[in-house]
Structure 1
Amino acid sequence: MQNLQFERAWDKTISEKDRERINNVFLKTNSSTNRGIQFTPLWQAVNHKSELLVTTLIQNFSEQTLIFNNRKLLYFKNNKLIAEHIFSIPNLLVERNTSIPWTFIFPVNSVLQQADLLNGYIEMDGKNN
């Protein structure tokens, strides 16, 4: 059975509205027949530094812990690559059968082209699994 967890800093600071939104997305998507890793989109934004912020629900349906050590993530919109970046996040571990919300920050130099911030999605580059 899939479990929803919030990283400690998230748990302390997230608004009730956002927590409810994440819970609703989790309830709709937690019974995947996929046994791998899925990134369920939540929302996207651009910050004051023009970095792309992509908040997603990382869903580990596998039997192994997911560690973000040199993981290349790709951000797509309409099947078109918008940004790519290699992430090393030591404190982000996603245990097996666990879902965790997280915001990935794509630096300006990793954004290949601008796109509206609707309906984008993240995939993990299979070459670095």
Structure 2
Amino acid sequence: MLSSIKRLLQKGKDSTVSSSDLLQQPSTDQAVQVEENELSDVFPKISFHPLMHIEDERRYVYQFLNNELAPLKPNQLSLSAIELEANEDGSATVTAFVRNSLEKAVHLEDAILLLISEEGEILGKKGFKLEELGDMPPCSSRPWHFVFEREFLLKEDLPEKGFELAFDLSKTIHRLDIDPTWEGRLTEEQVTELSNLVNTLPKLRVNEVSLHALRANYNDDGNLAVNILVRNGSTTAVNLELLPLEMLNEKGEIIAKGLFTLPPLTIQANTSKPWTFIFPQELVEIQAFSQWSIRVPDQEVI
């Protein structure tokens, strides 16, 4: 047990942010608490996820390591990295304490996390669904494993110590991405219209890719041309090569369906790209329609 503790001590670093940077609306009483106790220290107590099975020896190790961490100031959130493991499949697992010094339960949502070297170099970047942490009690510290798959790592050689897990607070704005083949087909007014649409659509979940229906019409040869906005909420580009699509009317009946082979179609990270999909007339099952939606088969209508 002692060797396990020594192996983990002082491996990673601590990264701390104000709770207002991540949580939507800090309450008034929290703001007052910051002002009154801005110099006081908070020592978050260990809290294990109720559905997480942890052996007694490991619990003791976590408890000891948590007690060794530096205190927080009121109304802070912290990621305290303690271990970085390279896995056989090329991924990396970072074990860290997620700590909060708020005087109420905390429920985190989507966040982009950065894996950073001691020299400040970004080693990895990935979006995580932090809601999986569950409701964290007030002033608590919860150990968690964060897995960076190979495609989310920027370096192959990972350090044994001095690494840091941090929240990405850059708040990158989701933007419109026009494919070069489309640039001569759209007027400035149409580009502005699409850009405004992208800015008003509901926020994507971390790593979510979705389709948004734009317009549909029959061309001169009777084929059905459907314009779709492909939205990528991931921190990495998505390449689409084969895409099955179903077009439905307001009754849920299939208007047309088909499997599309793409060049591939690359959707850059955190962007939305318009694209036209043409259903040959022999794949169109319902000719007349007014309202319609688009989906990938076996998924919810988008």
Structure 2 length-normalised TM: 0.38
- Among 206, 220, 241, the residue aligned to 1:48: 220
> Alignment RMSD, CA only?
2.1
- Per the alignment, do residues 46 and 84 of structure 1 end up closer, same or farther by CA in structure 2, a change over 3 Å counting? same
Give me the whole-angstrom Cα distance separating, in 1, the residues matched to 2:213 and 2:241: 21
Cα distance in 2 for partners of 1:111, 1:34 equals 34
* Cα offsets for 1:44-93 (capped at 9, x unmatched): 11101111111111101234543332211111111221111101111411
Q: What is the correspondence of 1:75-114 to structure 2 with a 5 Å cutoff?
A: 75-78=247-250, 79-114=252-287
Cα deviations across residues 11-42 of structure 1 (Å, max 9, x unaligned)? 22211232122112111116234742221121
Q: Describe the shift of the 1:23–1:3 C-alpha distance in structure 2 as closer, same or farther (beyond 3 A).
A: closer
More displaced stretch, 23-32 vs 99-108: 23-32
Task: In structure 2, list runs of 5 or more residues that go unmatched.
Answer: 1-171
- Stretches of structure 1 that go unaligned for 5 or more consecutive residues are none
Q: Structure 1: how far apart are the matches of 2:284 and 2:206? A: 29
User: Within the alignment, does 1:70 sit opposite 2:239 as a pair?
Assistant: no
Which letter maps to 1:96?
A
Distance in 2, matches of 1:114 and 1:43, equals 15
Q: Distance in 1 between matches of 2:297 and 2:237?
A: 17
| Cα deviation 1:84-113 (Å, max 9, x = unaligned) | 110111141113322101111111111111
Instruction: State the percentage of identical aligned residues.
Output: 25
Which of 199, 202, 206 matches 1:27?
199
- Residue type at the aligned position of 1:108: Q
2:57 alignment partner in structure 1: none
Q: The residue matched to 2:263 in structure 1 has which SS?
A: coil
User: May I ask how many residue pairs the two structures share in their alignment?
Assistant: 126
Contact 1:39 1:121 in 2 (8 A): no
Range with bigger deviation, 38-47 or 11-20: 11-20
Greater relative contact order, per chain length (Cα 8 Å cut-off, separation 6+): 1
Task: Answer whether contact 2:241 2:265 (CA < 8 A) is retained.
Answer: no
Once residues 114 and 81 of structure 1 are traced to their aligned partners in structure 2, the CA distance between those partners, rounded to angstroms, is 11
Instruction: Give the greater-gyration-radius structure (CA).
Output: 2
> Which 4+ stretches in 1 moved above 6 angstroms?
none
Counterparts of 1:37 and 1:77, CA distance in 2: 22
